Amino acid sequence: MSDSNSAAGFSNLVLIGMPGAGKSTVGVLLAKLTARGFVDTDLLIQTAAGCSLQEIVDRDGHRALRQLEEAVLLGLSVTNHVIATGGSAVYSERAMAYLKTNSLVIYLDVDLATLAARIHDFGTRGLAKRPDQDLADLLHERTALYQRYADLTIDCSGLTHEQVCEHIISAITKG
């Protein structure tokens, strides 16, 4: 299964979607199931900054977090990996174009109720959002961007993380 997507010319599988969509959890499982490495760009950002995402937002603002995220994404040089991006990766046209050069971009589409249930403390999550935005506003703003960049959209409604992986694997092995 490790070469399941290489025939289509894609080495990496990039997961995009809202915070709470399950990108990191699905990413680890998907990497195991497809014999790929795993990269969580939120962790790379925190390592580069030496602090949490929330500390970046609190100290420097949401735009600074987006700029850091873009720099981390543009600096990625991996093959045969599953890449879990931060929810705001899609704000960078440059970063998304770069990722799409050797990756299949998969949008994990999760409804507002599920996101709200998964994100227990919106104020400490390290979200790259304007201070006046709530979760519904953020979802509305980002949905068009996720759809724009997605090569594959998985409707995650009512699915376990394992079932999401099954849907992804099914879709990429058919292609």
Nearest of 6, 18, 12 to residue 156 by alpha carbon: 18
What is the edge-to-edge ordering of all strands in the sheet holding 12-16? 37-40, 81-84, 12-16, 103-109, 152-155
pLDDT digits (tens, 9 = 90+) for 14-65: 999 998 899 999 999 999 999 999 999 999 999 999 999 889 988 998 889 9
pLDDT 10s per residue in the chain (175 long)? 333 444 356 899 999 999 889 999 999 999 999 999 999 999 999 999 999 988 998 899 888 999 999 999 999 999 999 999 998 999 999 999 999 999 999 999 999 999 888 876 655 555 666 667 788 888 999 999 999 999 999 999 999 999 999 999 999 998 6
Q: Write the CA distances from 121 to 35, 76, 134, 135, integer angstroms.
A: 33, 29, 12, 11
Domains of the chain (ranges, CATH numbers): 6-174 (3.40.50.300)
